[in-house]
Chains A and B, each alone.
Chain A
Amino acid sequence: MTEQIPPRWASETFWKKTAIWVTGGSFVLLVVLTFDSLAKISAGGPRVPAYSVINKDIGYRFDKSKQRYQPVIGDDAPLFGKSLSEEEAEKLVDLGKKTVQAKNCMNCHTLLGNGAYYAPDLTKAWLDQGWIAKESREQMMLNFLLDPEKNARTFGSNRKMPNLEITQQEAEGIVAFLKWMASIDTNGFPHNFRALGAED
């Protein structure tokens, strides 16, 4: 049988070159977009507020012009009644983030929708109506984190958070981290979320 020469578009060389150019081109584009995205999501930038936002009231409301939900930064509402400098706020949020990682929260919960699905999403946990009222929220969150067994919030599911030996300081850090995370502009995720105090 005589060997047939494939047309150019079906040849090995053509596809080799295509593979190289497509891969290179896509990667270069990704790098350019990465520079742009990182600039836009740095803390204090247009989409991710500075850590000191924990000194403010944070809401989540439907924006009619964008047709989606958006975080709304309001008046002063210092966390645990103490206004923090940018540096102090970052330190507290950092402690919270490290604790969330060290306690492996992400293998039950989701954060920004990523993680496991055994426990609720934490993206807007700060704003959840489960904390009943703004006045009681901080203390309820601390109590829950410090003794989740006694202060279990199972909503009839019998699923209880285990005691993760979280200290008072770490619990305050977690609350700060959750408050700051709730202020991130997540393009309307979660949708249709009725935040605590949104009815005001």
Chain B
Amino acid sequence: MTATTFQDKAAACWSGCKQRHAEFMANPHLSGGQKLAVHYFTVAMVLFMAQLLFGLLAGLQFLFPSFLYEILDFNVNRMVHINAMVVWMLYGFIGSVYWFLEDESGVEIVGLKWGQLAFWVLTGAVTLVVLVYLFIQFGAGNDTSLWLINEGREYIEAPRWADIGIVVVVLTFFYNVAATFAKGQWSGIAGVLVLDLVALAGLYLAGMFYVTNISVDQYWWWWVIHLWVEATWEVLVGCIMAWSLMKLLGVRRQIVQTWLYIEVALMFGSGILGLGHHYFWIGTPEYWFSIGGFFSALEPIPLVAMVVHSVYDSGVHRFKNSNHPALAWIIAHTFGNFLGAGVWGFMHTLPQINLYTHGTQWSASHGHLAFFGAYATINIAFFYLAAQQARGNVWMGGDLANGWRWKAAAILLNLGVLGMTVALLIAGYEQSFIERAVEGSTWAGYFAAQNHPWFMQAMVWRMVFGLMTAAGGGLLFWDLVEIGKGEQRPAAVIASQAE
């Protein structure tokens, strides 16, 4: 292709995108906040696809170590895999909050323009960070590398300049949320949400400095990772679920808010000191055995409460709801959260077993089911709410045109992730026994476990289920683009229970 034709094609593509965007911005079915939410959801879906792709590449490297060697090494693929995940979760949460903010507060979003600007700034920054991850990959052992390329700390690898950008964007988001509720009406959900966002933004600061001492480094690093994932994110999805149960099933506000407070008490009551289960082996004092073991063992309790809450409400309302795919994903969320975060976390949280499982594929098994079950699912539920509203609040009940697609996507994704989880669990068991208990954790022991047929078989099965998950992801993407198009029937009206 000559340079001129390439330029012409690029210009045509750009003007096509601009036109599609202008058409979307004129959509009469969506409020300003909901349009911004759809922006976030769109990027979230793209990042979800990236997460799947780089997960497959990293998984393949376990089977074929020379695959992409010194081109896209395992550490690069794995970093993009987990970073795409963290960022698409956050995009999903931010989008979900923008989605219901006007509905919950009763007024238009205050400072929406700033929110829109923040979206483009964040998306530009994420794109740049990923390009640097892929094409620069690593730097020399100095501050410049940590500021511009990669901080090299799992999950929060984003270079320091991007950290500062993230904080600014989150503060803008916080301003939108707090100022909108302040102008409109406050509610229990609003109160919990605003305080949770303060904690979420504040905790990120704990991951924004460098120290030589690795024990101190990991102490603060866990403040960000654990107190985000096992505390503030859980409460955030609690708020999102509370609102969606009112919307989808017509559950009474008093009931969801009481449940929300119970969940906050149990979640923070167990999760804050449950942080101690990451402090068993990093140099920290022995008292963390008791504190971390005890409180983290309690962490599944609020997740049981969430299952009871959602299943009970669904049963009371005889599953009559206005959006079948969304409700299906909310139910998948409660069970996935309980199993992935709760049961899988509990299984290896006590120090007596964690001594052998820490740093093995056990953690990967837990991580896959927990992140998917607790967070991917509820974001997907909101993508379906958005698709329904964007197409004119159309029917999304039984007898939906091409309804097989959302069901097949849901089945493939759920079975795929569950299959990967079990395969990784088997690998984790094998590692705990062979590498840790028998071989005593030496490098020779590590590789004895990695080369064992049980481990290799588990990696093959992980790949098979990974492909199933990717197929489900692709189908989900297609379904979200198509679902509800051409549908003429209006959405089922679900009467709210009397206040």
Is A26 touching B152 in the complex (CB atoms < 8 A)?
A: no
Is B268 touching A19 in the complex (CB atoms < 8 A)?
A: yes
B165 CB to closest chain A CB (Å) equals 20
Selected contact of B213 from candidates A41, A99, A191, CB within 8 Å: A41
Is B447 touching A101 in the complex (CB atoms < 8 A)?
A: no
The answer to whether A16 has its CB under 8 Å from any CB of chain B is yes
Q: Looking at A100, A103, A186, which has the most chain B CB atoms within 10 Å of its CB?
A: A103
B327 CB to closest chain A CB (Å) equals 25
Residues in B whose Cβ lies below 8 Å from that of A26: 268-269, 272-273
Interface size range on A against B: 35 or more
Q: Given A48-B215, A90-B212, A117-B359, are A192 and B281 neighbors across the interface (CB < 8 Å)? A: no
A90 — nearest CB in chain B belongs to which residue?
B212
Residues in B whose Cβ lies below 8 Å from that of A34: 219
B422 CB to closest chain A CB (Å) equals 17
Question: For the complex, what is the distance from the CA of A194 to the CA of B443, rounded to whole Å?
Answer: 11
Residues in A whose Cβ lies below 8 Å from that of B355: 188-189, 191
B431 — nearest CB in chain A belongs to which residue?
A117
The answer to whether A136 has its CB under 8 Å from any CB of chain B is no
Selected contact of B66 from candidates A11, A15, A128, A158, CB within 8 Å: A158
Residues of chain B at interface, number, CB under 8 A? 88
Residues in B whose Cβ lies below 8 Å from that of A164: 138
Is B273 touching A42 in the complex (CB atoms < 8 A)?
A: no
The answer to whether A65 has its CB under 8 Å from any CB of chain B is no
The answer to whether A129 has its CB under 8 Å from any CB of chain B is yes
A112 — nearest CB in chain B belongs to which residue?
B282
The answer to whether B34 has its CB under 8 Å from any CB of chain A is no
Is A104 touching B138 in the complex (CB atoms < 8 A)?
A: yes
Residues in B whose Cβ lies below 8 Å from that of A93: 212
The answer to whether A187 has its CB under 8 Å from any CB of chain B is yes
The answer to whether A98 has its CB under 8 Å from any CB of chain B is yes
A113 — nearest CB in chain B belongs to which residue?
B359
- Which residues of A pack against B, CB within 8 Å? 3, 6, 10-12, 15-16, 18-19, 22-23, 26-27, 29-30, 33-34, 36-38, 40-43, 47-48, 51, 90, 93-108, 110-118, 120-121, 123-125, 128-130, 153-160, 162-167, 170, 173, 177, 181, 184-194
Given A104-B76, A188-B355: 5 more A-B contacts, CB < 8 Å:
A19-B261, A43-B213, A98-B145, A106-B154, A108-B78
Q: List 22 A-B contacts (CB under 8 A).
A: A11-B258, A15-B258, A23-B272, A37-B284, A37-B288, A41-B213, A41-B216, A43-B213, A101-B141, A101-B150, A108-B78, A116-B74, A118-B78, A120-B447, A123-B281, A129-B444, A155-B448, A160-B69, A170-B140, A187-B280, A191-B356, A191-B436
